[in-house]
Structure 1
Amino acid sequence: MGVFVAVGLLNPLSEAFGLSASGAGLILTIYALAYAVGSPVLVSLTGGLARRTVMATGMGLFAFSAIAVVLSPTAEWLFAARILTALGAGLFTPITASVAAAAVPPERQGRALAAVFAGLTVAQVLGVPAGSWIGYTFGWQAAFLIVAVLSGLCCVAVLWAVPRDLPFSVINLGTLGRAIQDWRGLLVILFTTSFLGSIYVIYTYLAPLLTEHMGYGRDGITIMFVLFGVGAVIGNLFGGWVADRIGPFRTLLLLTGGQILTMPFFAFFPMGDIAFSALLILWAVLGWSFVAGQQIRVVRVSAAPTVGLALNAAAIYLGAATGSSIGAMVLDRFDTLALGWAGAAVAVLALAHLVVSQTLTRERGRG
């Protein structure tokens, strides 16, 4: 919720800080870049500490950053606070994923990782629309204050629930360096960037798109984010199930093809509410089914899965930054109806990326 609530509040944040639509998109872009750079480094620097300590520290920093967002007097302070948000999440997320992947046999990794990342989809089905509604009703500061309170409660829950003596493999910056030097494995990880980059071309600017071409205000935008979240939850669960049965590569091949076929429809507005709702849910299912399959690929090609998952988590937000930046460039030259075509074009590149990375890892015997 703390990450994605800003997507539903781009309009009020733009007004509060005097930003254009593309300027407001920097709220997500800067977060994504900070996560992409900071997460692997922080995970490596804390690689010798107890998992509970790292998780609690990350969540505590996340809570503090939400308060810093509320107190930001200028856009520059807002962007700095979002960097802190990224660093907190960058500590928490990959450690949780690595613990889950190590706790189950290989044939259940898809479902285990899907369970971990269900938090991202729950944030979209509940947190983003709720935060959007609260922000439009009581002011955007109220939404981030709720994030701060929930994050503080989660920090306490981590300290209470996660065992002190949880076993783990110690890693360091040298481990990170070796992972980055493994260019074939890095190419596999960066598929996350190209796939999500195609989605975020549209998703970052979904609220302005709906306002301009569908005439939606607070309630309409909130409902559509709820529907997107429902599709994301379905996709997250569906993707883990499918990846365990037909394998991660075939799963991702089908999903990327689905994105290529779906996203051009976002260029044909206005459309009926029912038709658009169906399109949004389908798009969300196809987009968020990718998580488990891609994480399985990363675990299998990484010599140090914790670092691989940290790099993959960084690639998630690098994809968000790339997609939102491409979307901003499209908006500067065209209008919001061009976003659908741009997203589909990036998805074509993602499909090529997937095939090439799979071929290279198979040649090395690690695919």
Structure 2
Amino acid sequence: MTSSTKSAVADRTLPPWLLCLLLLTFVIGTDDFVIAGVLREIGTDLDVSAAAAGQLITVFSVTYAVAAPVMAVLTARLPRRAVMITGMLLFALMNVGAALAPNYPVLMIFRVLAAITASMMTPAAFSTAAALAPPAKIGRFMGTVATGLTGALVIGVPVGTWLGGAFGWRSTMVYVVCLALVVAAGLAIFMPKMDAAAPLTLGQRLSPLRRTPVVAGLIAMVVAAASGLMAFVYIGPIAASLSKAGPTALGALIAALGIAGIAGAMLGGRGADRFGPEKTLMIALSGQVLATILLAGAGWLWDGRVSIVVVGLLFACWGVTGWALNSPSQMRLMKVAGDSATEAIALNTSAMYVGIAIAGLVGGTALTAGGATGVLTASAGLGVLGIAIFALSFRTGGTPRTADVSTASLVEETA
């Protein structure tokens, strides 16, 4: 093998530490979403209604959204490696508590604690990937980390749901514990030692909130996330309304959507490296909105008579473009936030979770008023609004007078 061939192979090989970060988001995504698959088992075992069990999901999401920026500030001066390893061990411990919970209130407490711990690790994972990536591959490395979240939907959640059905919901929590311990061990072995962030004051770390491009970008992300996730939250009623899809077809549709999401996360990162985060973000969001408009149009014109294949193709396009938003949106915020990159990513993550909450609320209202097609119409409308706000945020400029994101405040220690 020639030296140039070896260089090309090495260039395509992901470093082990990056795979560990991918698995970190995979575990957190699995823990977040898998509860939906074992609600019946939890309700039966703990003698609560399905609606009450469902609040475990809501509380986790709301806690995560509120805690992410707070934990980013509190842990800002700690080494990222230590934050993630310790966080993953605590995350495993919280899920041990959940598996042993004797009643619903205790389970809820451990879900809140798990959400707080998770909110500490995800922003650290993305900022670490950006800090250690070669300058030309920042988006690609961040996109790789983002695939863990979509991979959780395709692999992590189905496995956890099956375990819950076969051996009880507590086995699902044990499954998450085992995954978390594996990730903690991987981080301890492969993650480079890194210095703590620059010694900034609290005011300096919260300074992104005083920058118009950052605030406008966060508002745009709330709207865009509400638009995109609305179609996913109500994918069951939408598929049933458009094509009369049954459980089997719906399962295949969700699996295809997850695979499309993994591809989208990777493409979004590569696009951000090649074309810049702003252009990639606008292309991705426009593609998602176009797919939603086509789904809505099909519903208005041929409700109940749309081929499941057509619905699947449109949702696949929606999945690719929708999940491509993650990396460019975070790269854009990191570019305008300067040394407060981790805090900006945490705020962006919170914005996404707020968008998810809005998606459920607005989507539910639209479903009651206009059926599944009403949900798609509301989603498309919010998507158009998101495009407009993002465009406005880009016009404000805002490149900071701080270190470039590729060098960042997190650097590898010398031996």
TM-score normalised by the chain length of structure 1: 0.85
Aligned to 2:50: 19
Aligned to 1:192: 221
* Change beyond 3 A, Cα 1:152–1:363: closer
Q: Residue deviations 1:231-287, cap 9 Å, x none?
A: 011101111222222222222222222222222416444643322322222111011
Q: Residue deviations 1:17-40, cap 9 Å, x none?
A: 4234xx766444332221121111
Aligned to 1:248: 277
- What amino acid is aligned across from residue 89 of structure 1 in structure 2? A
Matched, 1:148 2:177: yes
Q: Which of 149-158 and 356-365 deviates more?
A: 356-365
* In 2: Cα distance, 1:330 partner to 1:79 partner: 30
Aligned to 1:274: 309
SS of aligned partner of 1:2: helix
Aligned to 2:62: 33
Matched, 1:234 2:263: yes
Counterpart selection for 2:292 from 263, 279, 295: 263
* In 1: Cα distance, 2:394 partner to 2:202 partner: 27
* Unaligned stretches of 5+ residues in structure 2: 1-29, 403-415
* Change beyond 3 A, Cα 1:165–1:360: closer
* In 2: Cα distance, 1:357 partner to 1:349 partner: 12
Q: Is the 8 A contact 1:63 1:152 kept in 2?
A: yes
* Change beyond 3 A, Cα 1:283–1:70: farther
Map 1:1-367 onto structure 2 (within 5 A).
Answer: 1-9=30-38, 17-20=48-51, 26-71=55-100, 77-166=106-195, 168-171=197-200, 173-207=202-236, 214-217=244-247, 220-264=249-293, 265=295, 267=299, 268-269=303-304, 271-303=306-338, 304-331=340-367, 333=369, 335-361=371-397
* Change beyond 3 A, Cα 1:297–1:271: same
CA RMSD in angstroms comes to 3.1
TM-score normalised by the chain length of structure 2: 0.76
SS of aligned partner of 1:194: helix
* Unaligned stretches of 5+ residues in structure 1: none
- What amino acid is aligned across from residue 147 of structure 1 in structure 2? V
* In 1: Cα distance, 2:362 partner to 2:264 partner: 25
- What amino acid is aligned across from residue 345 of structure 1 in structure 2? G
* Change beyond 3 A, Cα 1:317–1:365: same
Q: Is the 8 A contact 1:111 1:237 kept in 2?
A: yes
Q: Residue deviations 1:48-86, cap 9 Å, x none?
A: 222222112222232233344445566655544332232
* In 1: Cα distance, 2:166 partner to 2:318 partner: 28
SS of aligned partner of 1:169: coil
- What amino acid is aligned across from residue 325 of structure 2 in structure 1? F
Q: 1:295, CA displacement in angstroms?
A: 1.6
* Change beyond 3 A, Cα 1:57–1:353: same
Q: 1:224, CA displacement in angstroms?
A: 2.9
Aligned to 2:12: none
* In 1: Cα distance, 2:181 partner to 2:118 partner: 13
Q: Is the 8 A contact 1:197 1:322 kept in 2?
A: yes
Q: Is the 8 A contact 1:69 1:78 kept in 2?
A: yes
* Change beyond 3 A, Cα 1:352–1:305: same
* Change beyond 3 A, Cα 1:351–1:137: farther
SS of aligned partner of 1:302: helix
Q: 1:93, CA displacement in angstroms?
A: 1.0
Q: Residue deviations 1:276-318, cap 9 Å, x none?
A: 3222221110111111211210111003212212222222222
Q: Higher relative CO (CA 8 A, sep ≥ 6), structure 1 or 2?
A: 1
Name the % identity: 28
Q: Which of 23-32 and 243-252 deviates more?
A: 23-32
User: Radius of gyration: which is bigger?
Assistant: 2
Q: Which of 159-168 and 247-256 deviates more?
A: 159-168
* Change beyond 3 A, Cα 1:25–1:210: farther
Q: Residue deviations 1:302-337, cap 9 Å, x none?
A: 032122122222222222222223233334555445
Q: Is the 8 A contact 1:129 1:223 kept in 2?
A: no
- What amino acid is aligned across from residue 301 of structure 1 in structure 2? V
Q: 1:101, CA displacement in angstroms?
A: 1.2
- What amino acid is aligned across from residue 146 of structure 1 in structure 2? Y
* Change beyond 3 A, Cα 1:320–1:150: same
* In 1: Cα distance, 2:40 partner to 2:226 partner: 22
